[in-house]
Structure 1
Amino acid sequence: MSAFTTSSQPTPRSRIDTRTIACTGMLCAVAYVVMYFSKTIFATMAVAGFLKFDLKDVVIAIGGFLFGPLNVLCVSLVVSLIEMVTVSTTGPWGLLMNVISTCSFLCPAAYLYKRNRTFKWAILGLVIGGVLMAGTMMLWNYLVTPIYQGMPRAAIADMLLPVFLPFNLTKGLMNGSLTMLLYKPVVVALRKAGLAPQSQSAAGAKTNTLAVSLVALFLAVTAVFLGLVLAKVI
């Protein structure tokens, strides 16, 4: 059975709402914990002294693939708000940048996957979303980063291509590859807990899970090494 091919059975609306709300709340909590620990782990990999990698988009991507792009927006807003009032030093500007980054990356991916629930479209959505996020963040970094970093806009403009673009592409690769790697086991666990819709996929729609996992693991390791290079650790 394909990890990225799902079709839920007809379920009473109240049950769908309750299940979706419960799962969304859990995703918010897990995404915050992942953000906190990944930023701590990657603290030594800060690019240009203030750009930090975090992996919360992996959790948000899983929610988006399960419940659609609106779930991406909701979880992103909640987690970014909690991050702002707990650990962030960038205030509302940091919240804005977090939401724009996550939504430009994962809303297109979740939308494309919702239209065609196959592994190919999941990968295509993540690739398109990663490219859109990298391009979108170049504009918003140019507009907003000088405000909360206290840097001249000309200095930020000089960093767009050599710093911001590769940072965001690497971040997208890191989160996208880990989403590929973790989606199936996480969704299986959620289904067993009754928090995610059950699959009705045909048996013939199987994906070579081992091959997908190996490719995803290779891409994740590649992304980590790219991050270390960008941070001038290696």
Structure 2
Amino acid sequence: MIKRLSALAHSLACFQGEWDADIDALRRGASFGSAEPGGIVVGRRGGGLSALEVSQHDLVRSWSRCRLHLWQVGGGLMSQGLAVFFDVGDTLASAVVEGTHLSRLDTYPFVPEVLVRLRSGDVAPPASVGLISDTGDESAATMNKVLRAAGLLPLVDAELCLFSSIEGIDKSQAALFERARERAALPATRCVFVGEDAKERGIAASVGFRVSPHPLHALHLVAVDFAVHP
């Protein structure tokens, strides 16, 4: 146990160095790869580029690498982790489209409580909460804006939000769910996908996810199957 904890501490120290190096590169204007349409303007720094665009995938690279390495060296210490990923449209909210673009999300009344209870550990160990959503050609900025206006943004983990317009793959591909699992740095059996579409649930299940058709059902599933009993 002491050796395992030492390995975890070493991993955290290594990650801190990598994270600091990535942030320093951003400040100097270095690029982590070609910016994709819908990229995020990270910031403006003297001595660097006036506006640096990187994809959401690049922004979470260091964080995902850390979580995956901690899982690998930590063994059973991270086996109790849990990540619950939700579809957005028709699962958490109704999407309102004006023209060809998303203008707002009307969040269902029960949703905020479900997300808070999952994150707080009210029904099981505290869960990370993410989104897996097909978003057409919407930018990350648009998605953040509508999620914030809908009251959802503070209730999810930004590094676990996977939008097809940013990732370059959608929910018809098992690779998107694999990528979500990698970002969570958990076994697929510790990941849940919640969505109203049976075909999409089938794809998630094909890579080992537990699946649920409705947020309230997901809350029950987590309480029954993932609760830690003394």
TM-score range for the pair, normalised by the shorter chain length = 0.3 to 0.5
By percentage of residues, which structure has more helix?
Answer: 1
What TM-score does the superposition give when structure 2 sets the normalisation length?
0.36
TM-score (norm 1): 0.35
Larger relative contact order, structure 1 or 2 (CA cutoff 8 Å, min sep 6)? 1
